Amino acid sequence: MKNLRVGHGYDVHPLVDGRDLVIGGIKVPFEKGLAGHSDGDALLHAIMDALLGASGLPDIGQQFPPLDEKYKNADSGKLLKTVVQLVKKAGFDDILNIDATIMAEKPRFSTYIPLMRSKIAEIVEVELSQVNIKATTTERLGFVGREEGIAASAVCLVASNG
């Protein structure tokens, strides 16, 4: 009988001048990017925390400490690949699905979501149908509404045969 586990992740980064906007492993044209010790990819960070949580592992801040210089400007896609290896090592051999939401007033992500889904499915080594991404605004409320940052949340379902 399979052991099923659900995980949830959430991340937020401020928008700043002078950085590329990388989200979902894709560079999105925009006048600002996300600040962070790594590339600031809030969507991949939320997915990593969801996978780690479902597997009973420590969060990304413990896996990839923000004060550790080897993670400065790190490609979050490579970090996600490492997380997938950790999840499998913890005995969760199947990532059944990932469902994520990006919260931002600008830019609009609808044209980039198919690319993000493909990139994430490739990194995580699952079928495209197992990855879903949505984007929404916060109706101009809060830090997202004031265009100060971008937030992302994700849930996932993992399974083990043990």
pTM (2 d.p.): 0.95
What class is the 3-160 domain? alpha beta
Q: What is the pLDDT of residues 74-95, one digit of tens each?
A: 899 999 999 999 999 999 999 9
Q: Domain residues of the chain, as ranges?
A: 3-160
Q: Which of 148, 121, 84, 112 is nearest to 23 (CA)?
A: 112
- In degrees and rounded to multiples of 5, residue 90 shows phi and psi of -75, 0
139-152: string of b/e by CB count within 10 Å (b at 16+)? eeeeebeeeebbbb
CA distance 127 to 135: 21
Q: How confident is the model at residue 31 (pLDDT cuts 50, 70, 90)?
A: very high
Residues 106-162: tens digit of each pLDDT? 999 999 999 999 999 999 999 999 999 999 999 998 999 999 999 999 999 999 976
